Amino acid sequence: MSALLGVNIDHVATVRQARYARNAASINVEPDPVEAALAAERGGAVGITAHLRQDRRHVVDRDIFRLKEAIATKLNLEMGNSPEIVAIALQVLPADVCLVPESREEVTTEGGLDCITHRAALEPTLKAMADAGIRVSLFIDPDPAQIHAAASLRAPVVELHTGAYAEASGAARDAELSRLIEAARLADEAGIQVNAGHGLNYVNVKPILVLPKLVELNIGHSIVSRALFVGIEQATREMVECLRF
């Protein structure tokens, strides 16, 4: 058995933007996130994740439309709950969207979505996505209250934020893993699919596989980093092997 792997290609776009931020939508700029996505699929990814941020700091609109057309698996669009990005998602019609908190000051997503505080804003977005045939995942911390809120919103999927686990060590890491296990159990009992991700790499991912009913892990930075030495396809293949249990 194994957990499924979705590969996040944001940081491929980050490298492109370092040189081509002013003309990222032009042809012949590199590296191309779509080519990276196709290589990840060849390496065994079951889906491609990309975060279209409001500030377009890495992935840009054209990338999302091209990914939808080019990949053979599924597109998982990470997005903040803003009217502009919601409208784009409803144009692109990815298989999945993952709603995440978003701050312009953060380097990467720093925590889970607060489904309790933002319930009123989330409800119409979940309905619009469901009406369009798009499956919604909520990126949340492994907190029972957030699991219950996700269930009350009738979210079909949660992606448990593994950042605190990834950054901890020793007894603190064990405690974070226990929190993730309990959150996964509660989500499964509520009939919600369990995914997870953030900060996972080739070393720390193995213990995560004990999460009850874990379906999919979304991993980006570690795979893109490894790809500098072996290429995206091989880096993806190596992570797929890590997810076998």
Catalytic residue IDs: 51, 78, 198
C-alpha–C-alpha distance, residues 86 and 77, integer Å? 10
Report the greatest alpha carbon distance in the chain: 50
Place of tokens 């009350």: 152
Q: How far apart are CA 68 and CA 90, in angstroms?
A: 12
Question: What SS3 state is found at 51?
Answer: strand
Question: Using the 8-state DSSP alphabet, how is residue 141 labeled?
Answer: -
Q: How far is CA 135 from CA 45, 87, 101, 148, in A?
A: 18, 15, 18, 19
CA 10 to chain centre: 10
CA distances (Å), origin 37, targets 40, 81, 128: 5, 24, 27
